[in-house]
Structure 1
Amino acid sequence: MIRLITASQRYEAQVEGWLRSHYLFSFADYYDPENMEFGPLRVFNDDYVSPRSGFPTHPHSELEIVTIVLSGDLTHKDNIGNETTVSPGQVQRMTAGTGVSHSETNDTDDEIHLLQLWFMPNKRGLAPSYEVMDVGFLKAKDELIPLVTGQKVLEDVTYINSNSTVYYGSVSQGEEITFRTFKIRRTLIYVLTGSLLVNNVEADSHDQIRLDEQEVIAIRGTADATFILVDVPALEANY
């Protein structure tokens, strides 16, 4: 099954003048019982954070939280001793585990564009932990670059406690990338820029395609395009 969800079907949120966001799944004041999750992927938010603002300190538990910075510099602080700046091309992973409190703020005069994804973990009761990796994914050209993974077949990638992998993709107009998977897995593609033809389904900027029971996914650029591909199990142990 292949399902196209257009950009206009995303939920748009404005938070007190400092955050513009689009939610791909039910989140905060947006509730749709038919759009709660995608395998262990529970949250996928496309966020723009205004200068000198951000998410104040708040708690989380039993989540794998992935933050992908597309532009701007994000300041992270938490109660387990981490204080870092996450820049474009870098990926942040936080295992909330038994509980962590953190803030994510824009301490600059420029807007930040980031993506945040939450996964339900396949292991519970873990100690909280944190990692930032400079992946340099924004330099990608006609390739998929893994950003985080819980699949041990990939090396030198930030590890998450979910049998899932998040990729950043770039494809030029007229070029094609082939992604091979299994029918027991699910794939979500979110177009950041440009337009794609995914298994003969057209998708424009900010559209998403959700695919089930596929073995081969052909991603062709109908214009120069960038996108996020999330590969998840249909069912996750302990999920």
Structure 2
Amino acid sequence: MIKLITASERHEANVGDWLSSYYLFSFADYYDPSNIQFGPLRVFNDDRMQGKSELPSHPHAEMEVLTVMLEGELTHKDSLGNEKKLGAGHVQRMSSGTGLTHSEANEGDQPAHFYQLWFLPNKKGIAPSYEQLKVDFQDKKDQLIPLATGQKVLEDVVFMNSNSTVYYGHVGQGNDIEFKTYKIRKTLIYVTEGSILVNNVELDRHDQIRLEELEAVAVHGTSEASFILIDVPALEVNY
């Protein structure tokens, strides 16, 4: 099964002047019972936080929270005692487990652009933990770069408690990338910039495609393009 969702079908959140946000799944003021999650992927928000603004401290529990930084800088603080700077090319993971609180602030003048993804964990009741890694994924060309995984087969990536993997992809105009998958897994692709064909379906900037019960995902660059590819199990186990 292949489902195309265009950029105009994303939910534009009414948060305020300090934050521009588009929701790919039901979140906050947006609820669609047919669009709750994709495997264990529960949230995918495309966020831009304006300079001199802050998301105040708030709680999480039993969720793997992943932030992928594209532009600008954020200052992270949490109840575990972490105070960290996140810049473009950083990947952050919070395993909220039995509970933590955190805040994110843009202390600079320029907007910060980032993706936030939430995954249902494959195990409840774990101690909360934090990890961040500078991957510099935006410098890579014509390949898929793993950013975070729970599959324990990849090195130098952020670990999360979900049998899922998040990749950053780049493909040049006229070039191809093939992603091997399985019928028991699902794939979501969200276009950051440019345009691509995915299994002969055309996607433009901010379009997404959800694919199920396939054995291969073929990406062709109709222009130079970057995208996020998320590989998830059709059904997360042990949750």
Structure 1 unaligned spans of 5+: none
Structure 2 unaligned spans of 5+: none
Which residue pairs with 2:210 in the alignment? 210
> What amino acid maps onto 1:4 in structure 2?
L
Per-residue deviation, residues 45-77 of structure 1 (Å, max 9, x unmatched): 000001111210000000000000100001100
> What amino acid maps onto 2:119 in structure 1?
F
> What amino acid maps onto 1:127 in structure 2?
A
Q: Which runs of 4+ in 1 moved over 6 A?
A: none
8 Å CA contact 1:90–1:135 kept in 2: the answer is yes
8 Å CA contact 1:19–1:54 kept in 2: the answer is no
Output aligned runs, 1:82-121, within 5 Å: 82-121=82-121
Output aligned runs, 1:161-200, within 5 Å: 161-200=161-200
Percent same amino acid among aligned pairs?
64
- Measure the CA separation in 2 of the matches of 1:54 and 1:187: 32
8 Å CA contact 1:186–1:233 kept in 2: the answer is yes
8 Å CA contact 1:169–1:226 kept in 2: the answer is yes
Q: Offset at 1:140? A: 1.2
Which residue pairs with 2:158 in the alignment? 158
- Measure the CA separation in 2 of the matches of 1:189 and 1:56: 30
- Measure the CA separation in 1 of the matches of 2:61 and 2:238: 15
Two-structure CA RMSD over aligned residues (Å): 0.6
Which residue pairs with 1:72 in the alignment? 72
- 3-state SS in 2 of match to 1:17: coil
Does 2:128 correspond to 1:142? no
> What amino acid maps onto 2:66 in structure 1?
V
- Measure the CA separation in 2 of the matches of 1:221 and 1:53: 36
- 3-state SS in 1 of match to 2:13: strand
Which residue pairs with 1:17 in the alignment? 17
- Measure the CA separation in 2 of the matches of 1:182 and 1:78: 37
Report the count of equivalent residues.
239
> What amino acid maps onto 1:153 in structure 2?
V
> What amino acid maps onto 2:231 in structure 1?
D
Per-residue deviation, residues 210-232 of structure 1 (Å, max 9, x unmatched): 00001111100000000000000
- Measure the CA separation in 2 of the matches of 1:35 and 1:49: 25
